Structure 1
Amino acid sequence: MQWLNDLISWLGSSAARPAIFAAIVLFVAVIVAGLLAAWISSAAIKRMVTQRDRELKSAAIAALVDAATEASVWNSLTPQEQVLADRAVGQADIHVRLLPIRGSDVAANWAAHQLHELKRSSATFGYQLEPAVADFRDRMLEWQRHPGRAKKQFQNDLAGWRAERARPEQALAAEQDSWVAEQHHERYREERLVPEPAPLSDVDASAPTAVNLRPAQASVDAER
């Protein structure tokens, strides 16, 4: 116990005050440095996550805008091209729904409805769809910049479309869409069944031609 008494006596003496002050300053400096390093690391990680989310959202929105461009000429695409376009739209839709952004599900539902409408209109109004594609692009970019405000607008549009879907004429429009899609597939099926003309290289070279017959005919006339 003697060493403990000596330590307490030393701590209470005036000679120990500089050492105690230096130890306190060193302890506080270590704590502050640790807190500052943690804050810098947290800010850097948050910045990286934000940048990654922004890149993912930009890529998903770019894919949807590209899908809207293809949907505006949907009736001119081949069935194979339509399948590939639908796959791209499905992947972009999943990416949008998985984004950690408020209103991503609502934005995906709104985009899906707009793409469907562009496909419907491409059969008869394809030359007038450029403003619709531009409006689709602007609305998606607005959602990227202001998710909260755009979410309310999307919800209002979806509510209005649900009310319109309950009208009787929507059943007739659905039947018309099915008929247009069936005619489109029938047209490309008929084009595949048309036989292609045989190339000139496949023609029998030994068959007599008009060029080969002219000298022979000339010799017969001379004998006569």
Structure 2
Amino acid sequence: MQWWNDLMSWLDSSAARPALFAAAVLFVAVVVAGLLAAWIASAAIKRVVAQRDRELKTAAIAALVDAATEASVWNSLTPQEQVLADRAVGQADIHVRLLPIRGADVAANWAAHQLHELKRASATFGYQLDPAVAEFRDRMLEWQRHPSRTKRQFQNDLARWRSERATPEQTLVEEQDAWVAEQHHERYQTTTAPAPLAAGDASGADTAPTRAY
């Protein structure tokens, strides 16, 4: 225990005060440096995450706006192009729902309804609805900038559309949409159907097979 007594005696002496002061300053400096480094690293990570979130938001909204442009000319697309467009819309819908923005699912539901309306308007009127596409784009950009305020507007629109869906006129609209889609499909089936082989073609047949109608 002699070394302990010597240590305590040295700590109580005036000669130990400079060394103790230097040790305390060094300890405080190390703690402050560690906290500062942790704060800088946390801020850098937050900036990277925020930048990544902005890129995801921009990509998802751009995909929906592009889908709105295709939906506005839906009736002029071939069935194959419509399938590809629907797949792109589905992927964009998932991306929007997974965005770290408040009300992302509400915005996705609102966008899905608007895209359906653009398709129906294209099938009915047959031309690109530039004002409707521009309004869709502006509303999505507004949601990105002010998610809380725009979320309430989207919810009000969805509630109004749900109430309108219960009216008898909506049944007629759905029947008209189904008829327009059937006509569109039949039109492209007619234009893409192979022509019958003529008699005496390159296959060497003298007569064409008789078809029963």
TM-score, with length taken from structure 1: 0.86
Count how many residue pairs are aligned between Structure 1 and Structure 2.
Answer: 199
| Residue 101 of structure 1: how far off its partner (Å) | 1.0
Rounded to whole Å, the distance in 2 between the matches of 1:123 and 1:101 is 33
Alpha-carbon contact 2:71-2:118 (below 8 Å) kept: yes
Give the match for residue 217 of structure 1: none
The AA in structure 1 aligned to 2:195 is: P
Q: What is the CA distance between 1:197 and its match in structure 2?
A: 10
Q: What is the aligned partner in structure 1 of residue 206 from structure 2?
A: none
RMSD between superposed Cα atoms in Å: 1.4
Equivalent residue number for residue 209 of structure 2: none
Q: Could you tell me how far apart the structure 2 residues matched to 1:120 and 1:195 are? A: 32
CA distance in 1, matches of 2:58, 2:89: 15
**TM-score between the two structures when normalised by the length of structure 2:** 0.90
Q: Is the 8 A contact 2:102 2:147 kept in 1?
A: yes
SS at structure 2 position matched to 1:100: coil
User: Displacement, 1:126?
Assistant: 3.9
CA distance in 2, matches of 1:110, 1:157: 8
Give the 5 Å matches for 1:62-211: 62-127=62-127, 129-195=129-195
Match of 1:53 in 2: 53
Seen in structure 2, the aligned counterparts of structure 1 residues 40 and 58 have a Cα distance that, compared at 3 Å, is same
Asked whether 1:37 is paired with 2:12, we answer: no
Q: Structure 1 residue 196: deviation in Å?
A: 8.9
CA distance in 2, matches of 1:106, 1:56: 17
CA distance in 1, matches of 2:150, 2:102: 10
> Residue by residue, what CA displacement relative to the aligned partner does 1:181-203 show, whole Å, maximum 9, x if unpaired?
000000000011152999xxx8x
Amino acid at match of 2:135: D
**Does 1:18 pair with 2:7?**
no
Which residue in 1 is equivalent to 2:210? none
TM-superposed CA distance for 1:123, in Å, is 1.6
Question: Structure 1 CA distance, aligned partners of 2:127 and 2:181?
Answer: 19
Counterpart AA for 1:185: H
Gaps of 5+ in 1: 203-224
Deviation at 1:128, TM superposition (A): 6.0
Q: Which amino acid aligns with 1:181?
A: A
Larger Rg: 1
Whether the aligned pair in 1 keeps the contact of 2:120 and 2:177 (CA below 8 Å) is yes
